[in-house]
Amino acid sequence: MTADMTANMRKINASQAVAESLFQEMERDERVVILGEDVGRCGGVFGSSRNLLDRFGPMRVRDTPISEMSFTGMGVGMAMAGLRPVVEIMFVDFIGVCLEQVYNAMAKIPYMSGGRVKMPMVIKTAGGNIGSAAQHSQCLWATFAHLPGMQVVAPSSARDHKGLMAAAIRSDNPVIFIEHKGLLLKQAKEFLNAGDVPAEAFVTPIGKADIVRQGGDITLVTLSASVEYAMEAAAQVAGEGIDVELIDLRSIVPLDVETVAQSAAKTGRLLVVDEDYLSFGLSAEIIVRVLERLGPSSLRQLRRHAVPDVPIPAALSLEEVLVPGPASIARVLREMAAAS
Amino acid sequence: MKLNEINLFRTMVRLRAFDEACIEGVPTFEIHGELHTSIGQEAIGAAMAQSLTLHDAVVSTHRNHYHALAKGVPPRALMAEIFEKETGLCRGRGGHMHPFDPEHNFSATGIVGASLPVALGYAYNFKLKGLPYIAVGICGDGATNHGTFHECLNMAAAWGLPLVCLVENNQYAISVRFSDVTATPGIAERAAAYGAFGRRVDGTDVEEVVKAFAEVARYTRKGGGPSLLEATCYRHRGHYEGDHDNYRERAEKQRMRAEMDPIARYRRMLVERGAAEDELDQIVAAAKGEMSAMLADIRKDAMPDPAGAMDHVFAEVV
C-alpha cells in the first residue's frame, strides 16, 4: 500500500460510510435521487443521508410525507422514467405499508415487461434488534429474498456499507439495502470487523461473500450485525481450541453458496446464525443449498441459530434470550465442538 | 380546438373493435385470467389520444387496452401480448393486465390504487428535468377510496408536479356501488382539498371529454400542478369477461347501455350534423375487418418458448 493510498483510508462509522457513498454517487450521476421520511433536513434518523440536502437541493433529496406506498411507487415510476431513485423506508418493519409496490411493481416489472423495462432502484431501510420491541426490530431479509426479483443486501463492515451502497445504486436491478440499526449507531472504533474505508468512491460487488476469519473447525455463516457478534464469539472460543471460519454473506440474493460450500466441505461443520426469524428462512435455505451441492451426508454437523418464531419482546431480559448474540453464538459453537 | 369528427369516431370504433377481437380469445382459453374490456368507455381513450405527446407518460389500470392504444402503443404488439404470444409487447410475460411500453412511456398495473404512485414518479422526473410533459395516472372510482389517491394528490400538489389524475367513474367497484361507499356525489370536488384543479365531465360525450381532457392537460402542462378529471361512464360488460354481473339490475344495464354508449351517441350526433350513414358504417366495418385480420395473423404466432421461463427476472449482468 502506497503512502498516498494510506492517507485516503479512514476509520469512519457505518452511517457516515452510507452517507458518503450516497454523496459521491449523487455527484457522479445526476440521475440519482433520494427520497423518504426525514432524509433531507434531518439527514436521516440515523444520519445516513447527512449533508445531502445542502449539496443537492430538495428536488434530489426529497423529504416526503408519511405516504410510504405512494412514494415507493413514485420510486418505481422514477426508475422507469430514467432516474435512479434511492427510496428510504425508515424502518424495515414499515414495509407492510408499501409491500404492494415493492413486490408487485418494483420486483416484477422487469420480468412482466419481458426484459424491456429496467428497475434501477434501491430501497434503503434499517432493521435489527436494539431493544426496540416487536414493531421496530425485525430484519425481514428472508421475506424479500422469498419474493422473486429483488437483490437483498445487508452489509456488516463500514467499508462494505460504502462499497455495497455504491454497487446497489449503480445496479440496473432493484436492490433492498438493509442496514442494521445497531451498526448505524456504533462508533467506528468499536467495530471488530474493522477495515479502513477509502475516501474515494468504490464498488463492492453484490453477491460475493467475505471470509472474515479463517479457521478449520466450524464454518459459521451469517451477515449484518451478527458478523460482529460472531467475531466476538469466535475470539472467545479460539482460546479453547475451537477454530472458527467466519463468512459474511453480504447479500442473500444473490447468495454465494460456492464460498459457503467450500468452507463447509473443509470443516465438516456448518452453523448458520441469523437475526431474522427461524422458520422458512435463511438458515434452512443455506443448509439445503450446501447439501444439494455437497451431498446429503457430506457434513458431520448442521446447526441453525436464529430468532425463534416469536415477535420481539420489549424487555431486554426477554430479547436477549431470543436474539443471537456473542454469548449464545459461543455456546452453540462449544456444543458443536463437544459433540464430535 | 378543432375536432376532426370522423377521426374521433374512427378512433372510438377501432378501440371497441380491438376489445371485441380480444373477447374472442376468452371462450377458446387463449386468454387467461380476467379480461377487462373498455366497452362503453372508449370516449375517454379517444380524448386522451387528442392531447398527449409521445413523451407524456400514462400509467393505467387492469382495464388498459384503450389507454395503451391512445398512447400510441402498437396495436399488433399489444394484442399479441393479450394473447400471450412471444411476439407480444412483453414477450408473453405480462399478458392483458400488465403491458409495458417504455418507448411510449406507457405502463399499467393490475392492482387497484397502484397506478397513481407510478405516474407520480414520471411527473417527478419531468419536474426535476424541467420538461414540458405530463404524467397521466388513471384510476377508477374504486381506487379513489384507496390511500394512494390521497397520498398522490397531496404530494403532487405540494410539489407542483405535472400529474393529471384521470378518474373513470363507472359507478361500480366490481359490485360495490360508488354511492354506497362515498358520501359525496362525485370525486372531482375533492380536488379543492388538495389544491389541485378539478373538473367533471360526461365521459360518454366524446367531444366534451376531448375538451375537458385538453383543459386539464393544458393546465398541468403549463405548470399549474396536478389536475383531477372525473369522467363519468358506465361499464357495458361485466367487470371481467365471465363476470355473472348479478349485482346490477337488468333494467339499469339496458337503460345505461342505451344512454351511455359513446359510439352510438356520437353516431347520432354526426348524422344529425349531416354525416353520411354509409360512411360511418364503412368505418365500423373497416375497423372490425382490421382487428379480425390482426387477430387471425396473431393466432399464427408462436407461444413463448418454455426454455425462457426464467429469463428477465434480473437485468443482464454486463
Q: What is the CATH number of the domain that holds A62?
A: 3.40.50.970
pLDDT band at B1 (very low <50, low <70, confident <90, very high): low
| Chain A residues near residue B94 by CB distance under 8 angstroms | 112-114
Pair A232, A144 in one domain: no
Q: Hunting for cell 360512411 — which residue is that?
A: B279
> Which chain B residues in 51-90 lie under 8 Å from chain A, judged by CB atoms?
57, 59, 88-90
In a domain, A205, yes or no: no
Domain count, chain B: 1
| Chain A residues near residue B100 by CB distance under 8 angstroms | 109, 112-113, 116-117
Choosing from A147, A171, A198, the residue where a domain stops is A198
Between CA B145 and CA A294 the distance in angstroms is: 54
In a domain, A204, yes or no: no
Are A114 and B121 a contacting pair at CB < 8 A? no
A with B: how many residue pairs have Cβ under 8 Å apart?
A: 149
Assigned C-alpha cell, A120: 434501477
pLDDT digits (tens, 9 = 90+) for B132-171: 999 999 999 999 999 999 999 999 999 999 999 999 999 9
Between CA A67 and CA B316 the distance in angstroms is: 32
Q: Which residue of chain B comes nearest to A67, CA vs CA?
A: B151
| Chain B residues near residue A114 by CB distance under 8 angstroms | 88-94, 312
Choosing from A198, A233, A258, the residue where a domain stops is A198
Pair A185, A220 in one domain: no
pLDDT digits (tens, 9 = 90+) for A13-29: 999 999 999 999 999 99
pLDDT digits (tens, 9 = 90+) for B28-52: 999 988 899 999 999 999 999 999 9
* Distances, alpha carbon B299 to alpha carbons A68, B35, B91, in Å: 43, 17, 15
For chain A, the distance separating the N- and C-terminal CA atoms, rounded to the nearest angstrom, is 43
* CATH code for the domain of B158: 3.40.50.970
Q: Is A20 helix (H, G, I), strand (E, B) or coil?
A: helix
pLDDT digits (tens, 9 = 90+) for B107-119: 999 999 999 999 9
Nearest CB among B100, B122, B126 relative to A117 is that of B100
pLDDT for B105 beyond 80: yes
Pair A141, A12 in one domain: yes
- Domain with A32, as residue range(s), is 3-198
Q: CB contact, 8 Å: B130 with chain A?
A: no
Q: CB contact, 8 Å: A29 with chain B?
A: no
Pair A190, A216 in one domain: no
CA angle B13, B17, B23 (to 5 degrees): 150
> Which chain A residues in 308-327 lie under 8 Å from chain B, judged by CB atoms?
none
Assigned C-alpha cell, A106: 418494483
Pair A91, A168 in one domain: yes
Nearest CB among A62, A73, A114 relative to B114 is that of A73
| Interaxial angle between packed helices A257-267 and A282-294, expressed in degrees from 0 to 180 and rounded to the nearest 10 | 70
In a domain, B24, yes or no: yes
Sites in chain A below the pLDDT cut of 50: 1-3
CA distance A9 to chain B (A): 30
Pair A224, A190 in one domain: no
Q: Check if A136 is active-site.
A: yes
pLDDT for B90 beyond 70: yes
Pair A192, A143 in one domain: yes
> Which chain A residues in 118-157 lie under 8 Å from chain B, judged by CB atoms?
118-119, 148-149, 151
In a domain, B316, yes or no: no
Residue A4's Cβ-count burial label (10 Å; 0-12, 13-18, 19+) is exposed
pLDDT digits (tens, 9 = 90+) for B188-240: 999 999 999 999 999 999 999 999 999 999 999 999 999 999 999 999 999 99
Per-residue confidence (pLDDT) for residue A5, from 0 to 100: 54
- Domain with B153, as residue range(s), is 5-299
CA distance A124 to chain B (A): 17
In a domain, B307, yes or no: no
In this structure, which amino acid lies at residue A134?
A
Per-residue confidence (pLDDT) for residue A145, from 0 to 100: 98
Between CA A169 and CA A152 the distance in angstroms is: 13
| Chain B residues near residue A101 by CB distance under 8 angstroms | 114, 117-118
Q: Which of A136, A161, A180, A305 is catalytic?
A: A136
Pair A179, A247 in one domain: no
Mean pLDDT (chain B) is 96
Assigned C-alpha cell, B113: 390504487
Q: For B78-91, what is the mean pLDDT?
A: 98
Are A74 and B158 a contacting pair at CB < 8 A? no
In this structure, which amino acid lies at residue B263?
I
Q: Are strands A175-180 and B172-173 parallel, antiparallel or unpaired?
A: unpaired
CA distance B78 to chain A (A): 12
CA distance B99 to chain A (A): 7
In a domain, B305, yes or no: no
Pair A147, A105 in one domain: yes
In a domain, A203, yes or no: no
Nearest CB among A77, A82, A109 relative to B120 is that of A77
Which residues 6+ apart lie within 8 Å of B186 measured at CB? B169, B200, B230, B232
In a domain, A61, yes or no: yes
Pair A136, A177 in one domain: yes
Are B121 and A75 a contacting pair at CB < 8 A? yes
Domain count, chain A: 2
In a domain, B287, yes or no: yes
Per-residue confidence (pLDDT) for residue B33, from 0 to 100: 84
* CATH code for the domain of A296: 3.40.50.920
In a domain, A180, yes or no: yes
Q: For B266-285, what is the mean pLDDT?
A: 97
Pair A216, A175 in one domain: no
Q: Which residue of chain B comes nearest to A102, CA vs CA?
A: B114
pLDDT band at B3 (very low <50, low <70, confident <90, very high): confident
Q: Where are the beta strands (DSSP E) in chain A?
A: 9-10, 32-36, 61-63, 84-91, 122-127, 151-153, 175-180, 197-198, 210-213, 218-222, 244-248, 251-253, 269-277, 301-307
Pair A51, A108 in one domain: yes
> Which chain A residues in 2-21 lie under 8 Å from chain B, judged by CB atoms?
none
| Chain B residues near residue A83 by CB distance under 8 angstroms | 121, 124-125, 128
Choosing from A198, A232, A251, the residue where a domain stops is A198
